Amino acid sequence: MRVRMAPSPTGPLHIGTARTSLYNFLTARHAGGTYVLRIEDTDTARSTLEFERDIIDNLHWLGITWDEGPQAADGDDIGPFAPYRQSLRMELYATEADRLLASGAAYRCWCTPEELEAVRKAQEALKQPPRYNRRCLNLTDAERAAFEADGRKPVIRFKVEPEVIRFDDLVRGEVEFDNSLLGDFVIVRNDGMPLYHFVVVVDDEAMEISHVIRGEDHLSNTPKHIALIRALGYREPRFGHIPLILNADRSKMSKRKSQTAMSAYREQGYLPEAMVNFLAFLGWSPGTEEEIFSLDELADRFEIDKVHKGGAIFDRDRLDHLNGVYIRALADEQLALRLRDFVPAAVADEDLVRMVPLVKERLVKLGDVPELIGFAWEPDDVVAGWYEPADLAPRKGGPEEARAALEGARDTLAALDPADFSAEVLEQRCRAAAEAAGMKAGDFFSPIRMAITGRPISPPLFASLELLGRERSLARIDDALGKLGAVRA
């Protein structure tokens, strides 16, 4: 088995492309086959090295590796069928186009865009399916010479035979198309640049691809590809078309309506292990209640013919759930390493490890950490700016109750020896202070929480106090009292 992934570097790695890449990877690994990465960069106007780098880097981030192809955007290709970038394979495409012309399976067409548009409108008026009318198929030598004299540059069209194309799809079962409805399509533009339908067929043959696994949106392209394959005398690979990824409203995921770039999920702090697990289940299931799989376990269980035919709903809540499961499965030291890129460089490694237990159960994404515990590294005046005096009031009470709680807390914290400034001791003393003040614990604690963290909801209060330390905690309570108009000397 030889499978391939052939992304176009005309944009960042799309979540659908990532899922298709994963399915190819898992299929190859399950069968002990070969996985090829090929870069389809014939769209020179939109292809960039930056997008190629994004695709390769994010596939590697997911843990998806390939046996042949470019290992880096600016690196050498690995494999016996190099080069693996289509822009470097033009000589092969020209040779194969000439073969089609010589056999009569393709012909040159000099029709202008205006002429083609006129044909389309006429067909539309007659309620006929739009397709090329073969005006240039049987031109005389004189007519061709006249077009050349006019300076027209021809495209090359493939002559589609009016036949029924049938194939056994790996996912969808038997599929049938009537090619008489297609019309003769362009395979080489008038500037000599070959187009997708042509080059993908040539490369799949040249690279001995045995199974073509791609998105359902390519299903309608398959009869064109099979017709080309037969005209060129190639062997037919097996085709498999996986379901589209849909939004919750069952509309197709698009850049305008959805977050589709893999890099965006990476930047938000989704773990690659969680993303792989999530992507695998977008159209496939193991047939059991299990939901957590490593990449190796997925490869062991995955079978392409078990992929669902229906569209796969992108459920962000499920992704968040899986990400949380993977986060909580990490040791504190491992999670601290993952969080390193999401906290300021000034935060010491040992301090970051101390912060992890406070947020581990609450983290959905790594990128949530500044919101959850940014108070630990932000300056006191910045944290004080996160809330208004009215925010200090407990649920049942106003400024006076807030002031009483803050003053009681300040006295309690100030009386503690720094050596005793632990979450356990702090909770014990603060509960006693709340009782002495005649306040419920929740009402006593909420002004302290707001003063210390700047948020009404935070990691455990006493662990947060311990993390900040005695002096910083006292300074923040003083800031809060200052807001209430009672600055302590």
Within-domain flag for 24: yes
**Same structural domain for residues 238 and 203?**
yes
**Same structural domain for residues 355 and 216?**
no
**Same structural domain for residues 115 and 207?**
yes
Residue 309 structure tokens? 């035919």
**Same structural domain for residues 402 and 450?**
yes
Residue with tokens 């202070």: 433
Write the single-letter amino acid at 12: P
Taking the C-alpha atoms of residue 98 and residue 221, their distance in angstroms, rounded to an integer, is 22
Q: What is the CATH number of the domain that holds 457?
A: 1.10.10.350
Q: In the chain, how long is the greatest CA-to-CA distance?
A: 108
Strands (E) in 41-196, as ranges, are: 69-70, 77-78, 106-109, 155-158, 164-169, 173-178, 185-188
- Predicted pLDDT of residue 255: 64
Taking the C-alpha atoms of residue 4 and residue 199, their distance in angstroms, rounded to an integer, is 14
List, in order, residues 6 or more apart from 205 with CB less than 8 Å away. Answer: 229, 232, 234, 235
**Same structural domain for residues 112 and 226?**
yes
**Same structural domain for residues 399 and 428?**
yes
Identify the CA nearest to 6 among candidates 186, 171, 204.
204
pTM: 0.91
**Same structural domain for residues 395 and 257?**
no
Task: For residue 318, give the DSSP letter.
Answer: H
pLDDT in tens, the chain (489 residues): 999 999 999 999 999 999 999 999 999 999 999 999 999 998 888 999 999 999 999 999 999 999 999 988 877 899 999 999 999 999 999 999 999 999 999 999 999 999 999 999 999 999 988 999 999 999 999 999 999 999 999 999 999 999 999 999 999 999 999 999 999 999 999 999 999 999 999 999 999 999 999 999 999 999 999 999 999 999 999 999 999 999 888 888 876 666 889 999 999 999 999 999 999 999 999 988 899 999 999 999 999 999 999 999 999 999 999 999 999 999 999 999 999 999 999 999 999 999 999 999 999 999 999 999 999 999 999 999 999 999 999 998 999 999 999 999 999 999 999 889 999 999 999 999 999 999 999 999 999 999 999 999 999 999 999 999 999 999 999 999 999 984 443
Within-domain flag for 488: no
Residue 31 structure tokens? 């069968």
Question: Taking phi first (over 0 means left), then psi (-120 to 50 degrees means alpha), and beta for anything else, what does residue 365 get?
Answer: beta
Within-domain flag for 324: no
**Same structural domain for residues 55 and 159?**
no
Within-domain flag for 276: yes
Task: Write out the residue range of the structural domain in which residue 145 sits.
Answer: 89-242
Length of the chain (residues): 489
**Same structural domain for residues 251 and 232?**
no
* Catalytic residue ranges: 255
Task: Report whether 60 contacts 30 (CB < 8 A).
Answer: no
Task: Report whether 154 contacts 110 (CB < 8 A).
Answer: yes
Residue 434 structure tokens? 């709340």
Taking the C-alpha atoms of residue 253 and residue 216, their distance in angstroms, rounded to an integer, is 13
Within-domain flag for 322: no
Provide the number of structural domains found in the chain. 4
Taking the C-alpha atoms of residue 336 and residue 360, their distance in angstroms, rounded to an integer, is 10
**Same structural domain for residues 200 and 162?**
yes
Q: Inter-axis angle of helices 423-436 and 441-453, to 10 degrees?
A: 130
Identify the CA nearest to 355 among candidates 485, 460, 207.
460
Q: What is the CATH number of the domain that holds 79?
A: 3.40.50.620
Within-domain flag for 325: no
Write the single-letter amino acid at 357: P
- Predicted pLDDT of residue 487: 41
Residue finishing a domain among 242, 258, 284: 242
**Same structural domain for residues 64 and 208?**
no
**Same structural domain for residues 38 and 78?**
yes
Residue with tokens 């459920």: 315
| C-alpha to C-alpha distances, 246 to 7, 16, 217, 264, 287, nearest whole angstrom | 20, 10, 12, 18, 22
Dihedral, CA of residue 418, residue 422, residue 427 and residue 432, to nearest 10:
-30
List, in order, residues 6 or more apart from 129 with CB less than 8 Å away. Answer: 123, 181, 183
Within-domain flag for 82: yes
Within-domain flag for 298: yes
